[in-house]
Each structure stands twice: as structure tokens, then as C-alpha cells.
Structure 1
């Protein structure tokens, strides 16, 4: 076989793998959204450098927890999970500097406190309204002063 035939074979295999990855991402997104309650949600994994550390993702409400999935992976399980009773909303701000290029357009950055420390998330204003309603809909008997 000539070198150019090998090159064509390798190129074809690479294209098929890219196509399979793209189809896998679409199928995964549809499966995650099947039960509703999903929205665009970015999470700041590291706050060492100002404006950096953001990862795009999908949020999904699942009963008493908020699950966060990375957007460009085929892994079916959430990367992070926050329980409603352990989150408190601490405020919002507009993205600044490099954050504007890292996040979805028209998203705001919110700060939450959890038992494991501060959590920074970015979501649209409509999603923020739903998030606040979800937080306030804690079950009866919850300690509101915590």
C-alpha cells in the first residue's frame, strides 16, 4: 500500500471518530435533558487566578440536589453535586475581564456558600430565578438560619 493510501485511511478513521464523538455528545445531552430541569451552568473549578478556572457545563435539578455535568465529555455521571440543604445564596455580579469570554453570553456569576467552601456558578438570569426558587423551596423543618 502506498503512503498516500495510508494517509487516506488514517484521515477517514479520524473523521469517523470525530463524528462518533459529536453524535455521542448530542445523545448524552438528550439523555440528561430527558427528565427536564436542565440549564446552562458554568462552574469555577479554581479561583487561583482572577477571571480564570471556568468550565462550561449543564446543570440539572434532581430532587434535593443540583448536579453539574461538564459539557464536552461523554461521562454520564455528574462531575459535581450540591445538596439543597448545604447551599446558601450569597449574591451575584456581572462577569469581569476574561470571564466575559469564558462564559455563555448574558450569564451572571453567583456566589454560594456550602459546607465545603465557596462555590462560584454562572447562569442566565432566568436560570438564577429558578435556582433561587429551588433553594427557597426547602422542605419543612429545615433550619433557615444556618
Structure 2
């Protein structure tokens, strides 16, 4: 009986520490300049579910960090010169529950891969401006 209580206590402590680490990581990511809440989905691959995350602008790329992860590295990186915006739309059907309230879905193509980003309209304005302000010579397409 005592062993099972110790195991349950250790599991509860591990869960609590995990939650604290995830919350601190999220605060650290969100506190930097050039970050915004952004959900990601790859509709053409097997990963059809929305993943919550935080995106951060870099000079020549967009880094995307999964919210529920321990990794200090981005889960996905998108080169600015290879990222094209195809369309934007309001969430439809069950997407309304899967993305943040008030978000719009931005359909993009990175190299040959289709992806969708869900972000607020203010974040989209910043995203489109970041894409359009690419250095000369980079082909940028913003819908």
C-alpha cells in the first residue's frame, strides 16, 4: 500500500513539474519580440490535426514552436523566400473549435508543401507585412 502511494505521489510530482516547464517555456517564447500565437496544420500529409503553437519572425525565416513541447528548438522552420500565401478564410466546421477564437486560416505553400496557419487578423497583418518586406530578389506572394 505504501509503495503505491509513493508511485502515485511521484507521478503527480512529475506531472506538476512537466506543466511548470511547459508554462515557463511558453512565457519565454511569447515574451520575445516578433512572436504571435499561431496554429499549424499540414492538410496534405497524415498530420491533419491543428497543433497549437507560437511563431517567431527571424530575418529570413519563420520559426514555429509547438505549445506542448519541451524542446527549445522550433518544431518547423519556413524560409521567407519559399513561403507563399495562397488564400485566407474564416475557420469552417470543427476548425472553429480547434483554433483560437477570432482566428483566420491562412493557406500557404512552403516550397512544394501545403500548410495552413491560423492566426488573429492583427497577426496576419504583421505576417503579410513581414513577407512583403523581403529583401529584393526574393519572390514573395501575399494574397
TM-score in terms of structure 1 length: 0.86
Q: CA offsets, 1:31-59, max 9 Å, x none?
A: 3235321111111134469xx52111111
1:69 equivalent in alignment to 2:34: no
1:99 equivalent in alignment to 2:95: yes
Aligned to 1:132: 128
Aligned to 2:115: 119
Q: How many residues are aligned here?
A: 140
Q: Which runs of 4+ in 1 moved over 4 A?
A: none
Aligned to 1:36: 33
RMSD over equivalenced CA pairs, Å: 1.9
1:22 equivalent in alignment to 2:19: yes
Structure of greater relative contact order (alpha carbons < 8 Å, 6+ residues apart): 2
Unaligned runs of 5+ in 1: none
Structure 1 residues 114, 72: CA separation in 2 closer, same or farther (over 3 Å shift)? same
In structure 2, how many angstroms separate the alpha carbons of the residues matched to 1:144 and 1:60?
A: 18
In structure 2, how many angstroms separate the alpha carbons of the residues matched to 1:43 and 1:35?
A: 20
Unaligned runs of 5+ in 2: none
In structure 2, how many angstroms separate the alpha carbons of the residues matched to 1:56 and 1:143?
A: 29
1:85 equivalent in alignment to 2:81: yes
